[in-house]
Chain A
Amino acid sequence: MHNAHRALSPVASAKPPSIRVTLWESLRRRLFYSPSSALATLLLVWLLVMVAPSLLDWLLVKASFRAPDAQFCRAAGGACWAFIREKHRIILFGTYPYDEQWRPLLATMLLIATIVFTCIRRFQGRGLLMVWPAVLAAVAILMWGGVVGLSFVENVRWGGLPLTLILSTFGIAFAFPLGVLLALGRRSRMPAIKALCVGYIELIRGVPLISLLFMSSVMLPLFLPEGFSIDKLLRAQIAIILFAAAYIAEIVRGGLQSIPKGQYEGAESLGLTYWQQMRKIVLPQALKVVIPPLVSTFIALFKDTSLVVIIGIFDLTQAAKAALADPAWTGFAVEAYLFIGFIYFLFCFSISRYSRSLERGLARGHDATTNR
C-alpha cells in the first residue's frame, strides 16, 4: 500500500531518510543535551521524587472518598473528598431552598450553553444579540421565580456557582459597552469629555477592586436619598461593572489607536456622522485587533468576582466557607478550596484555550467569518 503510493507520486512522498531514534537517544536529546541541561533535569527529578509521593498520598492514596463522618477522614490521614460529596449542594448552590435547586442548576446550564454557543464561529452573528437578552431574562425568571408557578426566592438566598456566573456575565455585558464609550471619550477631541473619561479611568485603575466593593457596601447607601436602598448584590454588581469598564476602556483605546488615520479620513470623506464612522468603520476593526487582551480581561473579571466574598456575598468561595462552618465537618478547608479552584480552573482554562485558537485564526486572516 505504502509502496504503491510512493510509486504513483515519487516527489510528493519523498521523505527524508528516517533516523531510528531510540528511547535513550530521544531522552538524551530532550533532557541531557548539555551539562547544564542534565543538571537541571536531575535537580527537577529529585524535587519531584521528594514532593510527588507525599502529595499523591494525600490527594489519592490515603484520601477518603466515602466516609460516614469527619472522624473517619481524620483517621485515614489523607484528603477528605467525602466532605465535598457531603457538601457539594451547598458549595454549588449556596443557601438556595433545597427542593428548588433544580432552578439554579438549569440557569447555570443555560448560561454555560449560551457562552459555549457564543464561542462557536458558526453561531456568531446578529442572532446572538437576540439570544442573550432572552437567556438573561430566563435566568432572572428561574432564579427569582414569582411568575409561571415558580415560588419567589429573594436574591439574598442566591449563591454558589450560578451567582458567580451571573456576576461575571452581567458584569461583562454592562461593562463592555460602558468601556467602549469611555475609550471613545478618551480619544475625543472635546477637552471636557476627554478629561472626565481620563479622570474616571485613572481613578478606578489606581485603586484595588476591594476598596470599590467596600465603597459600594458602605458608601453607596450614604449617597442615596433616605429610605431608598439598593440591595447588596446589585451594589456589588455595580462596583464590578464600574471597575471592569475602566480596564476594558484602556484595551479598546489600544485598538482604536492601531487603526490607521486613513480609515478615519476615509469614513469622514464619505460624509458619515461620528457615530456612523465609529459603528460601521472604526470599532469593528479596532475590536477585532483587541480580542485576545479583551478575553484575558474577561477571564480576570471572572476571577475577580471571587472578591465579593469580602463583603459577604454568597458566591462560590463564600458558599465553601459556609460549608466549612458546619461543626461536624470542620478542618477540611484545603479540600473545599481545591474543589472550587478546580471549577474556576475549568472555566478560565477553556476560555484561554479558546482565546488562543481565536488568535491563531485571526493571524491566518480568516476575516470573512468573523466580520458579518
Chain B
Amino acid sequence: MTSPQRVRLRLSWQHPEFRAILYQIIVVGLVALAAWYLISNTLHNLAMRNIATGFGFLDREAGFAIGESVIAYSPSDTYRRAILVGIVNTLRVSVIGLVFATILGVVIGIARLSSNWLVSRLASCYVEFIRNVPLLLQLLIWYAIVVELLPGTRSALHPLPGVYMSNRGLLIPSIEGPSVLAVAIALGLALLASALIARGQRVAQRTTGKQYRFWPWLAGLCLALPLAGWMLTGQEMHVEVPHRTGFNFEGGWALSPELFALLVGLITYTAGFIAEIVRAGIQAVDRGQWEAAQSLSLPRGRVLRLVILPQALRVIVPPTTSQYLNLIKNSSLAVAIGYPDLVAVVNTTLNQTGQAIEGILIIMGAYMTVSLAVSLLMNWYNKRIALVER
C-alpha cells in the first residue's frame, strides 16, 4: 500500500492488503448475516400477526382527529393526508422556531459580551439556566404555566394592545383579506430583486472601485412592489384585532397552548445554544483586527460589518447549522405536550395499523430529507463565507 509500484496481491496472512480485504469480508459478512437474521425474524413475526407489509395502508381512512392543522383535514381523510398534516405542522414549528431562535440567540450572544454589567450578567444567567435543564422538561413547564397559571379567557392578560394571553393560548392580531397573498408575493419578489441588484453592485464595485448605495433600492422596492400588489388586487386587506365576545374571543390569529409552549420552549432553548456559539465566534476574532480597522478610522458599525462579522461568521456558521438541525429534530418532542407534529401523527398511525416499520421509515425519511436540505443550504452558505487560502 505504501510502495509506489503495484505489488501483486499475495494470498498470505502476512500481506497487509490481503488482511485488509479479509477483515472487510468478515465484517460485511457479519453485518449482512445479522441483517438477514433480523429481517427473517421480522417477516416471520409480521406473518404471525397478520400484518401486511407495504405502504398500502396510506390510502385507507385514518379515522382519528388532529388537534390543529394548517391544511384542511377531517378524520375521514386518508392516512396519507394525516401524515402530510403532521409534516406541515413540523415544518411550521421548525421555520418559525429557526427564525426567532436565531434572532434571540444573536441578541443574547452579543449581550453576554456587553460591557454593561447588568446586561451581561442577565444574559449569562439565561444561558446557564436554559442549557442545563432538559428541553422536554422546559416544554412541560411552559405548557403547565400556560394551562395552570394563566387566567381563564374572561380575565385574560393583556400585555400589549391586541394581544391576549389566557389558558387557552395566545391571541395576536392577524392580517386578513384577499390582497394578503398578493402583497406577500410582491414582498418576496422585492427581496429577490434587491438581492440581484446587490450582487450586480458588488460586481460593479469590484471592477470600477466605485461604491454604490444599496439601501435606497431595498427600501424603494420593498415599499413599491407590495403597494402595487395591494392596489391591483382591490385594496382589500385589513388588520383584525381579537376582541372579546362574552366568554370567548373572536378574530385574530390564535396560537393553541400546545403550539405556544412548543414554540417558546424550542426558541428559548435553541437560542441559549446559539448565543454561546455567537459569543465564541466574536471572541475568536483577534483584537488586532478591531484595532487595525479602527486605526483606519472606520466607524464602529462598519468595523463590525466589514471586518469583524465576516471573520466571526466562519466560526459561527458550522456549529449553528447543527443547532438548526437539533431544533428541527427537537420539534419532535411536541408529542409530549400533545401538539400533532409528524412523529405524533405517525405514532398514532402505527398504533392503529401496526405498520411499525413503514411508520418509522416515513419518520426517518422525512427528517433525513429536511436535515439534508438544511445542511446543504448551510454548507453552501458556509462555502461562500469560508476563508480562501492560497
Contact = CB atoms under 8 A, between A and B. Distances in A.
Interface of A: 30-31, 33, 37, 40-41, 44-45, 58, 189-193, 196, 203, 206-211, 214-215, 218-219, 221-226, 299, 303-304, 306-307, 309-310, 317, 331-334, 337-338, 340-341, 344-345, 348-349, 352
A58 B147 CA distance: 16
B145 to A, nearest CB: 6
A223 B363 contact: no
Contacts of B264: none
B350 A317 contact: no
Given A45-B118, A341-B138, A206 B364 contact: yes
Contact of B20 (A31, A190, A214): A190
Contact of B333 (A30, A193, A210, A337): A210
Interface string B36-75: 0010011011101000000000000000000000000000
B192 interface: no
A215 B1 CA distance: 42
A348 B132 CA distance: 5
A229 to B, nearest CB: 11
B58 to A, nearest CB: 18
Contacts of A345: 129, 132-133
A181 to B, nearest CB: 11
A338 to B, nearest CB: 7
Interface in B88-145: 114-119, 122, 128-129, 131-138, 140-141, 144-145
B343 interface: yes
B128 A223 contact: no
B204 interface: no
Interface of A, helix, strand, loop or mixed by DSSP: helix
A254 to B, nearest CB: 11
Contacts of B382: none
Contacts of B117: 30-31
Contacts of A317: 134, 136-137, 140
Contact of B116 (A37, A223, A344): A37
B115 A37 contact: yes
A238 to B, nearest CB: 13
Given A207-B329, A218-B350, A345-B133, A224 B357 contact: no
Nearest to B31: A196
A207 B132 CA distance: 23
A189 B2 CA distance: 12
Interface in B133-170: 133-138, 140-141, 144-145, 147-149
Nearest to B117: A30
A44 B44 CA distance: 64
B335 interface: yes
Interface of B: 1, 20, 23-24, 27-28, 31, 38, 41-42, 44-46, 48, 114-119, 122, 128-129, 131-138, 140-141, 144-145, 147-149, 329-330, 332-333, 335-336, 343, 347, 350, 356-357, 360, 363-364, 367-368, 371-372
10 contacts: A208-B343, A208-B363, A210-B343, A211-B363, A219-B357, A223-B41, A317-B140, A340-B137, A345-B133, A352-B132
A224 B132 CA distance: 37
Contacts of B136: 306-307, 309, 317
Q: Which 6 A-B pairs have the closest CB atoms?
A: A348-B132, A333-B144, A30-B117, A303-B134, A208-B329, A192-B24
Nearest to A39: B116
Contacts, number: 153
Query: Which of the listed residues B45, B118, B372 has the most CB atoms from chain A within 10 Å of its own CB?
Result: B118
Contacts of A189: 1, 20
Nearest to B49: A222
B343 to A, nearest CB: 6
Contacts of A215: 356, 360
A338 B135 CA distance: 13
Give the interface SS of chain B, mostly helix, strand, loop or mixed. Answer: helix
A207 B27 contact: no
B330 A208 contact: yes
Nearest to B334: A210
A193 B24 contact: yes
Contacts of A352: 131-132
A260 B169 CA distance: 56
A309 B350 CA distance: 19
A189 B20 CA distance: 9
B76 to A, nearest CB: 26
A310 B135 CA distance: 13
Given A190-B23, A196-B27, A341-B141, A211 B360 contact: yes
Contacts of B114: 37, 40
A45 B119 CA distance: 10
B148 A331 contact: yes
Q: Which one of A209, A214, A310 has the greatest number of beta carbons of chain B within 10 Å? A: A214
A40 B115 CA distance: 11
A322 B131 CA distance: 26
Given A30-B116, A223-B42, A334-B145, 15 more contacts: A40-B118, A190-B24, A192-B28, A206-B368, A207-B364, A207-B367, A208-B332, A211-B360, A214-B363, A218-B356, A303-B134, A334-B141, A337-B141, A341-B137, A341-B141
A334 B343 contact: no
Contact of B335 (A224, A310, A340): A310
B134 A306 contact: yes
Contacts of B368: 203, 206-207
Contacts of A333: 140, 144, 147-148
B357 A222 contact: yes
B278 to A, nearest CB: 17
B104 to A, nearest CB: 15
Contacts of B20: 189-190
B360 A196 contact: no
